[in-house]
Structure formats: C-alpha cells, structure tokens
Structure 1
Amino acid sequence: MLRPSLLSSLPSRLSHRLSSPLAAALLSTSTARLTVVPSEADVVVIGGGIIGTSTAYHLKKLNPTLDVVLLEQNKLTSGTTWHAAGLMVTFGSLSHTSTEWRKYTKELYETILEEETGMSTGFKPCGFIELASTHSRVHEMQRISSFNRFCGIDVHEITPLECQSHFPLLNTETIISGYYVPTDGRVNPYDACMAYAKGFKNMGGLVCEKTEVEDFEVVDNKVVGIKIKGGEKVKAKKVVNCTGMWSKQVMEKVGGISPNQAAEHYYLITEKMDAVDPDWPVIEDPEKHVYVRPEGGGLMLGLFEPIGTGWSLEGVSAESEFLELPPDWERMTPYLETAMSLIPATLEVGVKNFFCGPESFTPDNGPMLGESNVDNLFVASGLNSIGILSAGGVGRTMAHWIDKGYPDCDVTAVNANRFQPFQTTPKYREERVRETIGMTYLPHFPNKGYSTAIGIKKSPIHERLKYQTTAWRDVSGWAGAMYYADYEPEYGWGKENYHDTWKEEHEAVRNSCGLIDMSFMSKYLVQGKDAGAFLDNISTAKVDGPNDTITYCQWLDERGMMHADLTVTKMKDNEFMVVATDTQHQHTLQHMQKRIGEKNVVVTDVTGGYGYLNLQGPKSRELLQSLTSTDLSDNNFHFRTSKIIDIGYTMARCTRITYCGELGYEIYPTSEFAIDVYDTIMGSANPPKLVGLKALGSLRLEKGYRDYGHDVDNTDTVVESGLGFTCEMGRGFIGEEKVKEERTKNKGGKFTKRMVNLFSPAEECWLHHGELVLRDGVIMGEVRAGSHGFTLGGAVGLAMLESPEEGVFLNKKFLTSGKWEVQVGNEIYPLEVQLSPLYDPKNEKIKG
C-alpha cells in the first residue's frame, strides 16, 4: 500500500515542481510583447514548444534565405514541453522513420546544438533499459532489438541480475530480460527547446512571444497570411501549425482537420532517496505501465495507464500556460501501487510531487505531420509523448517538406491527411483518447487494433454481418470483420486461436468461392469534360480508354515516387470511379483536389453511397451467372471488364478484377440495395463462404499484391516496387521522365533497390513486419508485410531489398544464388526470394 504521507504531503508540495533557477522566468505573468511582428514572411511557424522551435530551426538551417517567423501565444515551452519527462530513447520502434528521427535528435542534443549555440541541452547518456516481464514481451523486444541493431542502435539483451546491477533498487522478481542501450538517456526539455530557439535566432529567425494567431487569410483554399489578436496581419507563403493540444482549435479556424485531444498525463517524484545515483539509467516496465529515472535526488515514476482520461474536450484557452491539473488520486492509486512495486523503496518515502499535466494524443498514437487539406497550411503536432525524443527528426522532415515540396522520409504512417473529419468530434475524441494513452505500453501484437469507436461507419450490409462474427476491428472508422466466427480473437506473435477459421476462409477463395465485404474502400466519382485527360495525366497507365473498363495504376509525384496504388474505372465518357484503400481516403482525395486547378473536373466522395461486395474464387463466375442475365463468359466479360448487371432487385456495377489472385468480381450496389444484393448472393443454391480481412491479407500476399502505405510508400519508385508494368510510356504522365531515367539506370538488371516476394517453409516462422532478410549472413533489408500462406504451406511476405555494396546488383542471378534467411527476433529461418508472384506467377487463375 502507499504510505499515507503520499496523500498528505501532496498539497503542500505542488509548488515545488519548478525548482530550477528558470522557475521565476517561466512563471512570469507579463503580457507584454517584446518583439515587433513583421508584416510578411516566407514561413510563419505557430507554436513555441519543442516541435515549433525545431521546425523553425531546421527551416533556417536548410534554407538560410527563407524569412521565417515563430509566433508563440504565451512563452516558449509553456504548452506541454515544460513538463515533459525528457527521455531521449532511440530504442523501441519498428519504423525506419521514427528510429532515424530519434537517432538524429540525440545527435543534436548530445553535440550539435551546444556546438552551434553554446547552450547545453542537459543531455545525459545514462543509458536506457526496457524490461520484459512476459514471454510474449520478450519476443516483441527481441524483434525490435534485431531491427534496431540493423538501424545502428547498440542494443544488448541482458539478464535480470544485469538489469539490477545498473539500477540496484530494481525488483527483479517478475523480470525475464532487459534490453539495454548504454548511450540513450535523458535531456532537459526546457534547455533543448531554448537551444533550438537560440540556434534559429542565430541564423536570422525571429521569435515573437505573447503573439496569438486569431485567424487566417485564405484565398481559393490557400492560406496567404494570418491575423494576430490585436489587429496585425502577416502575409505568408506557408504557415505551420505546431501548437500541440491547441492544434484542433487552430485548424478549425480555416476548416482544417486535426483530431488531437489532450489527456491527463501523470508522473510522481519522490522525496530524496539516499540510495539513488543520478547516473542510473532510465528504465521502462510496460507491464507495470511505468518508466523510472532519477530526478532531484529521488526518483520520477511516469505512468501510461491502460485506461486514460481526456481533458478539456471543448478546447483549451489560449491564455493557458504552464498548466498543472489536479491529480485524480482515486483513479491513479492502483496504477501507482503497481508501478512502485517495481522499485519497492519508493513505497517507503514521501512524495515531492504527484504531477498531472495535459498531453496531446492522436487517434492512432502516431504524429500528425504534413500539408493539411488547406493549401499552404502545414501541421506538426500530436507527438503522443515522444515529442522531446523525436523533435529534431520531425523538425528536419517538416523543413524539407515545406521548402522542397516533399518529405525526406516515409511519412505514410504519420501524414496528417490520414485523418478524417469524423475523428474531430468530441464523442470520438473522448472515447478514443482513453485507449490511446495506454496503447503506448500495451503489447503491440501485429493483428490487434483499437477496441474503441469501432463501427462509427457501417457497411450497408452490416445488419446481416453483425450476426456472423464477434471479431470486429477498426478499419478507418468502419467495422471490419477479421474472420467470421462467434468467438473473440486471442492475440500473439505466432499461431493465434482463430488460425483454423482463417485457414478455412483462405481455402474457400482458393478452391471454391468466398464473399468479402470491402465497402470500407474509398470510392470517388471523377466527372467533367476534362476528367479523362486529368486522370490520364496523374496515372501511370492510360485510364481514359474504352468505356466499362477498369485499370490498375499508380499515382506518382514529379520525382517518380509513389503516392497512390489504386484502380480507375471508366464508366462512360467523362465519368470515372477511383477506388483506393481505406487508409488513404483523405490522401487520395487531396492528391486530386490539389491538381485540378482550372480544369473542368468535379471529384465527389461516394464511399458511403456504394457497397463493395467482393466475390472471389474459381467458382465465382458459376455462382454469379446463376443470379444475373448478363453473359459473364470470357468473350463478353473478360478480365478488366466493368459493366452494369442485374442482380436481385437492382442494377449494379460489376467489375472483373481481383486482389486475391483468383477469378473474381467486385459488385458495387448503391447502399439502399446492398442488403438485397447480399441476400441474393447468400440465398443462391451454392452460397459463398464469408471471408474476413485476415484471409484477404494472406491471399493477396501469396500473390504479391502491394498495399500503399504498408508495403510501399512515398520513398519507393514504381519500378523498384515491381509495378513498372503499369507504366504506359509516351503519354507525359506525372513522373514519367523519372521512370524513364530509372529504367535506363536499371537496364540489364542493375537494380540497387528492389521488392521481392518471400516464402519460408519453417513452421515456427511468422512474418509480420520489420523482420530482417539475410543473404549469406548479410542483412539485405526488412520485411514490409507478412502473413501465413495456407496454399503454399508457410510464411509469405514482401520485402524491400537494397544492395549491400557498390557494384552489387539485385538481378535474377543474385536473387537465385546464395543462402537466404529471415531473422525473426533471435531466431533465423530458411527463406526463398523471387521476383514473380509465389502463387500463379503466370496469372492463369485470374484470367481463366
């Protein structure tokens, strides 16, 4: 139990949180602005926390000629930066982007900022240890460790006794292993922020505190300036919203989307403990929801409780600064007791402070970066408690994006345009943020998603499907069935409890016929006299061909990098339907909207207006032919045909295409007729088997079909991704010149980067993401996506390989020689790699 002194000592000690010499300056109540705001600037950065100052610093560093102004409504650090815990940890991510951000940020804190500014960031390389107290957590940490070592992080797997040797007060009773990075540590957030600001000012940047942005100047959906409270206006070519928990309110001024929500965030600081050495490492025990580090002669215990609490759903006052919230002792005491059991000595001392402050979270616990749905307005917020440790990398990426027009890394998982308007509602934010904060320390099982706010959007056939399964998952706000059975999934890293059901659904599509509800997919009507020319210009393949034809293609940027992977159906002259993945809903829409200009083109989001029933398998034609008068024979309805057919009581568009590698048809009834179409199909003499998203994933990976934002991203070219076959050259599509250059460079198999299909027959091998691919013991790359291939009898996946040294090319000879293996955590398994699909490489099934 907690000592009574924990409760009784709290009120008299709240004032001691700010005990440094900076406290007086931080708590100053002056409202005077000391700097004159200029009338114009190239870039205005709003927000003077760690992200805003880093973004401003990197803008000037990247392009010294830019006129950059940073505006802070109160004082620098006064939002959430001032009360951050200051962890500087490079370990823990399976993302190249996040890992590289962290590594670069540590370099800044360790040497670069102090060398440039003369200001210390307070960086202390005391080390970091991640503790694993369950066998599944050990496996997770081993997976992360192998990936992190590949990224250049010095990770050591150590025993409980070795953990205790670094942190003598540690209770090792439940610990199985630790993951130790000797050079990680902690930093002083205030000092780091001020170092960014000083570096920015040293390069000619201007910082204006006590300067609140009241509104934006907008012309033709483009931000051209800002209005400051008090009347001043600043013309600006670009504006960057780095306002953290104010981000949503700032974006609302101009119709932008930001679902950020503040939550209560806690840490406890003990009284002085004589046994504590200030040089002890930072430790984390996710099973106990706590991180621990020395602080002020005692220890700091920071919590990420499994169920959090949102704060101030209605918004945060612009005058709010250096906020401390009253802690909820009743709610938090059980979590504190669990956390303190890791360091039993903390139960024997009093509390200097039990601090509660607001922290900003996004619905998926990922940063929100990039250009918003309003032109020239960028956003960098929602860092979900990793702002300090990734600020340098985030600032560098934002600067590159703003100045060059594109980011310097893969941003598909952090792009601001992944969010949708419904996610900004108070009800959604309140429900989701309760789960988001806890996700930080919960096991990151590959198939487990969020359990809150599922099914906000429902398929038009949901009323039928809801009785067929209990295994629902969040699919961009839609309810998506993982599989169809009346039991809950149990998650892990290997064979899970729904394995047999998943197998039956997979095999139904391969051997007979399955029905997959994919109504969640993004759908857009593109209409107008310029629609065909417009889509031809942005698509790698010619889409403005014969009516009633579907075309698979990519959308590239001017550098030839991928921005979308989708289909375009020409329904009739000047009318097309674009279908893209659910995760790229806003991204696809914005990609079109930002390129229309003066063209006679109208884009309409019709995602909710149509169902999408995907009938796949060798018997799909036989089944569908029994339900329609339309001739489905090859002569009349060949592969890539898309026609209106009669089915049940309606007429619906039916397209012969596949994402499973089988003969199949996509049926798009309007929503009001979707249930009738479903009932007609399921009421047939030989109804299909309902098939969930797990089987869809394994089917498409056996065939090697790509998924933008998962297997391929904005750092990949269409050629190295194995999708060059979609490029119809000589049409002048966006990125065509770069495709030509790449084909010339790679002629004769001189690839230095290339996507391959993977197969491992090892029964214990389970591929998900981030596993390492080796050839003759040399790491060649990592798995981008993985699953289990029931048809092939082993693990399947896609990996992006890179040449290990100059002059070595990823040609057929190289790929078919050598010893190929895959490393999964600490284990290594045999592997086969090939360029062609593992299943039906000649496409005989889909055209049969």
Structure 2
Amino acid sequence: MREVPGAARAVVIGGGVSGCSVAYHLADLGWDVVLLERRRLTCGTTWHAAGLIGQLRSNANMTRLARYSADLYARLEDETGIGTGMRRTGSLSLALTEHRLTEIRRQAGLARAFGVEAHEITAADVAGLHPHVEIGDVLGAVHLPGDGQCDPAGVAMALAKGARMRGASIMEGVSATDVLTEDGRVTGVTWVRDGETDTIACEHVVNCGGMWGRELAARAGVTLPLHACEHFYLVTEPIADLDRLPVLRVPDECAYYKEDAGKILLGAFERVAKPWGGAGIPENFEFDSLAEDFEHFEPILQTAIARMPMLKEAGIRTFFNGPESFTPDDRYYLGEAPELRGYWVAAGYNSIGIVSSGGAGRALAAWMDDGLPPHDLWDVDIRRAQPFQRSRHYLGERVSETLGLLYADHWPFRQPETARGVRRTPLHDTLKARGAVFGEAAGWERANWFARDGQEREYCHDWHRANWFENRAVEHMACREDAGLFDLSTFGKIRVEGRDACHFLNRVCAGEVDVAPGRIVYTQMLNARGGIECDLTVTRLSETAFLCVVPAATVRRDLAWLTRHVGDDFAVITDVTSGEGVIAVMGPRAREVLMAAGAGDLSNEGHPFGTAREVEIGLTLARAHRVSYVGELGWELYLPTDQVAHAFEAIMGVDAPPKLCGLHALDSLRCEKAFRHFGHDITDEDHVLEAGLGFAVRTSKGDFIGRDAVLRRREAGLTRRMVQFLLDDPDPILHHDETILRNGEPVSILTSGSYGHALGAAVGLGYVPCAGETSADVLANSYEIEIAGTRVPASISLRPLYDPSGARMRS
C-alpha cells in the first residue's frame, strides 16, 4: 500500500474526470499535487457518463474550453497509452418547431463566429447523414462535423496516468474528511484509510467531489449549491449493419442518441426530473446505479421509437439509472470560494462534465497558478452562488427543473419556475398588486415588466416580439418623455468605513474616490491586466465612510475582491444590501415628481448631478443620489427597508405619478444609451480602455491595481474597441451573441442587444477589431448583424446614439 504524502502544494479531492483533469494540469505546471479518491477512480458519475463531446457552448470562452477538451482527449492516448475512445463522429441537432429552428440557426451563427464548423441543413440532408431517423416533421437541423464522443472512464484514466507521469500522487481508497484552516485560508486536509488517519499539509484544496461536493464544502463553511438527479438512458442489443453515425439530438423530444459499437444509446433530459440524495450520498456508493423506473422513462422511449423506428425491433441490453449533480442555473462551478482562501472548486457539471472537464481543469490550474482566471469565466464562477442556495429543499425543488432545461427552448429572459420567492424587496407585494411580472436574479424577485389590466401576468416567449414587448415600449418611452419609477432595491450595497477606507478604495478603484462627502464617483475595480473586476459607483458618505453600489448578481464576487485586497489598511467591509431599499425616479419630469412628494430643492444648483444628499419624501427621509443608468434626469432614493413602502406611496400619491417600470425597460434604456453591463459588455477579460471607459480612470492620482496595464495599453494602442450598433431595419430584434460582420466577414459577436424604442430600431453593443486603425477607419467599414442566419445592415457609432453629450441627465 502506497504511503500518503505528508505535504503537497495542492490536494485535489475526487477522482472523477474533473479531479483527474485538475491534477493533470496542475502537475503540468510543475505543482506538487496529491489527488485523494475515497474509493476508486471514476466510481461516482464518470464511469456511467454518455461521453458526448459537443464543442459549441453558451459563449466564446465556454466553447474554447470544450474545444480544448476535444483536442486533449484526442492526443491523450498517444501520450499515455490509455485509450480515450475519442471519435469525431459529428453531431446533428434537429428542429421540430419554428421556434427551435430559430434557436439552432442562432447557434449555428454563434458557432461560426467562434470558429467552430457548423452547417444549417435540411431534413433531406439529415436523412443522408443519419438514414435511420424519421424526418417527416423535421423543419431543419444543424450539423457540427467536429463534434464526437469518447469513453469517459478511459479519458479519466488517461488523465490520471498523465498526472502521474508529471509527478502527481494519485491515492485511491483514501477519504478526505476535513479541510484544515487558519486565519481564513487552507492549511491542510485530514484523511482516513482503513482506519488510519492523518493530515496532508497544503496551501490549496480543490473540491472535485461531484455529488459529494456539497457536503464536503459545507464542512469547511463553503457554499456549493448542487444536488444529484437521476439520469436515465438505455442501450440496445447490437443492431446488424449499423454504420458509424453522428450523435443525434432532438431537444424538442428531450432525447439524444449515439451509436456505440453497433448499438444505440438513447438518453433523456426529461422536463421534470427526479432529484436524488438530498439527505446525503452514501459513502459506500461505488460503481453503483439507482433503482429502475421504466414508467418514468417510457414516454421518452415511445417518442424515440417513432423518431427511430428500428428501435422497435431492437432489444434492450441495458436500462440504466445513475445519479449526476446539477446546479440551480445549469452552469457548473469553478474558481476560489469567497469564504476561504485556497479553497477551489470544480464541480456541478450538469451532465456535461466530460466535454467540460478537460478545459475546466486547464483553466482552473492556470487560475490557481497566476492568481487570475486565464479569460472571462464569470458564467461558471463559484462566487455567483448564494448562501441560501445551500438549502436542500431549495435545491431539490430547483434541480427537478434545471435538468430538463438543458433541452428546453433557451428563450431570452426565460425565468425559472421552481423554488421562487426566496428574496423579496420591500415593494414586492405592492408591485405584484399593480401588475408586476417578476424575474429572478441572485434569488431576488425583481419586477421585470408590468401587465396591463386584463393582460395575462406571465411570460409568453418568442425570439421576435414576446408578449411583453409593447409593455416595455410604454415603460421605456415613459422614462424618455415623462417619468418612470423603478424598484432597484436589489442593487448590491457594500459599506467601506474606517480610518483607511479612502486610501484602500483609491488603491482598488481606478477612479479618484478622495472627493468631498456627498460626491458620487462612477469607477471600476481593475485587475493587474487592466480587466474589469467590478463596475460600480462609490458615494462618499463622510470622511471615513463610503457606499459601493454594485450589480445584484456580483455582490459576493465584489465582497471577496475587496476583502482579499484590504491588506494592512484599516477598513471594515460590510454587505448592507438588505438594509436599504432603492426607489429610482427617472425621466424629464423626475424633478417635478419628487419635489411634489416633498423633496425640496432639486435644481441643478441645489442638487447637482453626481451628488447625494438627504431629502424629505412624504413623512420620512431618504438619501437621494443623482445618477442615471437610463440616460435621463433622475434620482435613486436610498431608504431603510422599513420605510420604502411609505416613500413609494408618497411618490405615487402625487397628482401626476410616474409610470411603474420594470427591469426589461431598464435594460433597453441603458442599451440605447450605450451604458455597459457587467457580465455581458465588460468582464475581467475586457480592458477598461477597450470598453470605452477610460474617462472613469484617473492614472494621475497615483498607484492603483491595474494602473500599469492602463498606461501600457495607452502607449501601445487598442486592438479592439466597444461600439454601438443600430439596425437599419426597424423590425428585427437583438438579444446578444448575434454575429457582427464587417465588410461581409465575421469579426465578433454582440455582447448586448435590445430594442431602442426611442431610436426606432434594435440596438446592440459589441467589440470590433481596431489595431492600427483610427476612429474614422473603424466607422468607414460596412457592418451587418447576423440574426438566425439573416444578415441585417447596421449603422455603427463610437458615441452613444441617444443623447451622445449626456445633456439630458444633467438638465
């Protein structure tokens, strides 16, 4: 029996494909790594995975990781001598509805923009590629020739051997029991084997525990919201003369098919899944399966027989039910946990663990080695997880839906239907009574749009104009022409106070925050590469107290960034999001409305743009911030949560009250004004100067994180820049991820898109190459936006198309 090392730089917990990949890539970087597997490698989920390798993911970076996985698995056999079964059979995705056809056409355009070969094909073409498929109701399909399949266990074993060849220790039969900590960071891991127990001293731990990961994380005080679900597939008996076939996906029927050694594997992502293991996963679960439930799977099989009639005569060799872990939003977790330094996570793969793990392991290893992710990974960043999501009841309810959403229509603004209502603003019930239709963000219920009297208060989705399109148009134009009221209580609010608060914030923010009390500074927190870690406003409340306002979804990320950079500065950092509500009144008549509600002098002299001061609203007091995310005159009113309802009543009780507006209108307004949105238009990979936010940077103030990167880029010049587009045709709709074509060639994708109701057509934001080009050169080109296969001419602007001077906000 091999001796367990007493020390390592990193300990990886879990011997599935994820853990083996992390160990492989860390060892490749020269790290001293120990991998602990409680039983045997691959014994949890990896051994029974379907092994589908689909290169196209939800965005460019996720696609980059999947493509790397495919390339890695293809070369591992030569490197290690262990077969991975990697075959590039190609894949087909069928559309049975017009809505699905639009979706897969959009996916094909996205694939081509990412450099993935993709072809839109007809039903007849499908029959040529997969002659066993019934095509009578197929409206179209997308063929990705570079997709394929592999042997999951073989991949994991090859990665493990590759890790050993690079010096890693792979220990089977060794259970990690606890993670040791001191002063908020990892110091070691305790383990047990056959009754023997000891400790490995280490600086880093990586939780690759799969469906055991949640409980393992909880023991260290780390939030890792995932839950296992039952996942079903069957394998037929051998079918005579069955040729090599592409992987087939029929998402409208919740099914996928792959040919494997002359047999057909049929799997499903049924619309209502069966959660499993809520009370904990048995420790002795090893190469095991769950009880058969043929009644649950039978509707999928009946549909499959109609789709592939030869299945009617094929015998079933294996009917399998095995658990896989799912997350509340169908995106896996990667990165360092905000609660504990040195505690890393790569888990919760939502049934795409094989295609994801190669690239995810490489990205995480690079992140651990460099201290920053190699590129934008916010989609899967563990810092998006909310503490309340640890609730087993919440997870059990939510993952019954998220498994099925993998193959559901991926509508823009689709909202989860399960496990809702956890976080509510003080105005939730009031707005609901007035017609609000809610969406969810970071667990918050947020009014997205307001239904008319008699209108159904629910989403009816569409790729063109959804049922709420006209509602948003009315709300949007109310802000442009009159006055609108938004409930923005879900804004993240972080107080930074103490003797060194100003010095600290000036060190982590690119703007100058050493301003007079009452001043509001729009700024960014940058990383050492000049990428944007946070987009925020900082309001100086007093000499030693500041309020940072950040997006609702990024509060935990931003708290972690601040906490980990405070260093020796004496500053207390506190999340006060739930302590204050926010009512925003925006539009040309905002001043009139608020003065009628008791606010006093709101003139430019009495309350200049970019300042905050106390005002009276009704019978109470509010801190009024004169800022705007919609591009109009307006104020955000910050009040204790117990007084928000009263302030709302006072404002809505004036003679000409504002129009109630939702977050969809806020989004279309900010797109029209070309205001950036973190996570879409700006990320930690996007340089602040490329994003067009250099006006918010003050290199003259002295040193701050990212300053050198800003100066270097100013000297070298930009290679790409953010621009705004306006479609020439007023009919099409933009969402995001549509391909940008310059002079007929794809150059990028839209990072944001919406409809500019005041401009009369859809607007979008995106980056275009500009190396060696002047502004005039960029503008001189011809631009089009590809929408579901159709190219639409577009105008381009380097300045906001709506009110480019910003005069309306300062009026």
Letter in 2 for 1:627: A
Q: Aligned partners of 1:560 and 1:552: how far apart in 2?
A: 17
Letter in 2 for 1:433: V
Confirm whether residue 531 of structure 1 aligns to residue 496 of structure 2. Answer: no
Q: Aligned partners of 1:202 and 1:245: how far apart in 2?
A: 28
Q: Choose which of 109, 115, 118 in structure 2 pairs with 1:152.
A: 115
Q: Secondary structure at the match of 1:525?
A: strand
Counterpart for residue 201 of structure 1: 164
Question: What's the offset of the Cα at 1:214?
Answer: 0.6
Q: Secondary structure at the match of 2:349?
A: coil
Q: Choose which of 723, 744, 751 in structure 1 pairs with 2:693.
A: 723
Q: Secondary structure at the match of 2:197?
A: coil
Q: Choose which of 736, 740, 743 in structure 1 pairs with 2:707.
A: 736
Q: Choose which of 95, 98, 123 in structure 1 pairs with 2:59.
A: 95
| TM alignment of 1:602-641, pairs within 5 A | 602-641=572-611
Q: Provide TM-score, normalisation by structure 1.
A: 0.93
Letter in 2 for 1:666: E
Q: Secondary structure at the match of 1:533?
A: helix
Counterpart for residue 815 of structure 1: 778
Q: Aligned partners of 1:215 and 1:598: how far apart in 2?
A: 30
Contact 2:7–2:202 (CA under 8 A) maintained in structure 1: yes
Contact 1:212–1:318 (CA under 8 A) maintained in structure 2: no
Residues 240-272 of structure 1, C-alpha deviation per residue, up to 9 Å, x if partnerless? 111111111111111101001111111111223
Counterpart for residue 427 of structure 1: 393
Contact 1:766–1:787 (CA under 8 A) maintained in structure 2: yes
Confirm whether residue 271 of structure 1 aligns to residue 237 of structure 2. Answer: yes
| TM alignment of 1:351-370, pairs within 5 A | 351-370=316-335
**Residues 96 and 672 (structure 1), Cα distance of their counterparts in 2 relative to 1, 3 Å cut:** same
Q: Aligned partners of 2:59 and 2:88: how far apart in 1?
A: 23
Question: What's the offset of the Cα at 1:699?
Answer: 0.2
| TM alignment of 1:21-60, pairs within 5 A | 34-60=1-27
> 4+ runs of 1 displaced by more than 6 Å?
none
Confirm whether residue 329 of structure 1 aligns to residue 300 of structure 2. Answer: no
Confirm whether residue 796 of structure 1 aligns to residue 729 of structure 2. Answer: no
Contact 1:453–1:477 (CA under 8 A) maintained in structure 2: no
Q: Aligned partners of 2:728 and 2:316: how far apart in 1?
A: 56
Confirm whether residue 787 of structure 1 aligns to residue 754 of structure 2. Answer: yes
Q: Aligned partners of 1:744 and 1:122: how far apart in 2?
A: 49
Counterpart for residue 15 of structure 1: none
Q: Aligned partners of 2:184 and 2:636: how far apart in 1?
A: 36
Confirm whether residue 191 of structure 1 aligns to residue 154 of structure 2. Answer: yes
Question: What's the offset of the Cα at 1:681?
Answer: 0.7
Confirm whether residue 399 of structure 1 aligns to residue 365 of structure 2. Answer: yes
Letter in 1 for 2:60: H
| TM alignment of 1:431-830, pairs within 5 A | 431-469=397-435, 471-485=437-451, 486-487=455-456, 488-730=458-700, 731-746=702-717, 751-803=718-770, 808-830=771-793
Letter in 1 for 2:18: I
Question: What's the offset of the Cα at 1:810?
Answer: 4.2
Q: Secondary structure at the match of 2:581?
A: coil
Question: What's the offset of the Cα at 1:451?
Answer: 1.7
Letter in 1 for 2:69: T
Residues 125-156 of structure 1, C-alpha deviation per residue, up to 9 Å, x if partnerless? 22211111111111111111112112222212
Q: Aligned partners of 1:773 and 1:813: how far apart in 2?
A: 18
Runs of 5+ unmatched residues, structure 2: none
Q: Secondary structure at the match of 1:482?
A: strand
Q: Aligned partners of 1:403 and 1:818: how far apart in 2?
A: 41
Counterpart for residue 137 of structure 2: 174
Contact 2:55–2:146 (CA under 8 A) maintained in structure 1: no
Confirm whether residue 254 of structure 1 aligns to residue 220 of structure 2. Answer: yes
Contact 2:113–2:749 (CA under 8 A) maintained in structure 1: no
Q: Aligned partners of 2:739 and 2:591: how far apart in 1?
A: 41
Question: What's the offset of the Cα at 1:760?
Answer: 0.7
Q: Aligned partners of 2:225 and 2:465: how far apart in 1?
A: 35
Residues 281-338 of structure 1, C-alpha deviation per residue, up to 9 Å, x if partnerless? 1100000000001235331110000111211112212322112011222333223322
Q: Secondary structure at the match of 1:162?
A: helix
Confirm whether residue 107 of structure 1 aligns to residue 71 of structure 2. Answer: yes
Letter in 1 for 2:752: A
Q: Provide TM-score, normalisation by structure 2.
A: 0.97
Residues 772-803 of structure 1, C-alpha deviation per residue, up to 9 Å, x if partnerless? 11121122211000000000011111101124
Q: Aligned partners of 2:766 and 2:128: how far apart in 1?
A: 39
Contact 1:454–1:473 (CA under 8 A) maintained in structure 2: no
Counterpart for residue 13 of structure 1: none
Letter in 2 for 1:797: G
Counterpart for residue 18 of structure 1: none
Residues 175-208 of structure 1, C-alpha deviation per residue, up to 9 Å, x if partnerless? 1112112232110001111110111111111100
Contact 1:35–1:209 (CA under 8 A) maintained in structure 2: no
Counterpart for residue 835 of structure 1: 798
Confirm whether residue 78 of structure 1 aligns to residue 57 of structure 2. Answer: no
Letter in 2 for 1:378: W
Q: Aligned partners of 1:552 and 1:104: how far apart in 2?
A: 38
Residues 558-596 of structure 1, C-alpha deviation per residue, up to 9 Å, x if partnerless? 221110001111111211111110111210111111112
Question: What's the offset of the Cα at 1:275?
Answer: 4.8
Counterpart for residue 284 of structure 2: 319
Letter in 1 for 2:425: S
Question: Please, which moves more after superposition, 287-296 or 323-332?
Answer: 323-332
Contact 2:113–2:747 (CA under 8 A) maintained in structure 1: no
Confirm whether residue 138 of structure 1 aligns to residue 101 of structure 2. Answer: yes
Counterpart for residue 231 of structure 1: 197
Q: Aligned partners of 2:197 and 2:153: how far apart in 1?
A: 31
Residues 810-847 of structure 1, C-alpha deviation per residue, up to 9 Å, x if partnerless? 43111221211111121011111111111111010000
Q: Secondary structure at the match of 2:39?
A: coil
Contact 2:90–2:144 (CA under 8 A) maintained in structure 1: yes
Letter in 1 for 2:609: F
Contact 2:384–2:442 (CA under 8 A) maintained in structure 1: no
Contact 2:741–2:748 (CA under 8 A) maintained in structure 1: yes
Contact 2:436–2:448 (CA under 8 A) maintained in structure 1: no
RMSD of aligned Cα (Å): 1.3
Runs of 5+ unmatched residues, structure 1: 1-33
Q: Aligned partners of 2:794 and 2:382: how far apart in 1?
A: 37
Counterpart for residue 263 of structure 2: 298
Confirm whether residue 376 of structure 1 aligns to residue 345 of structure 2. Answer: no
Q: Secondary structure at the match of 1:231?
A: strand
Identity %: 37
Counterpart for residue 9 of structure 1: none
Q: Aligned partners of 2:708 and 2:439: how far apart in 1?
A: 41
Confirm whether residue 243 of structure 1 aligns to residue 213 of structure 2. Answer: no
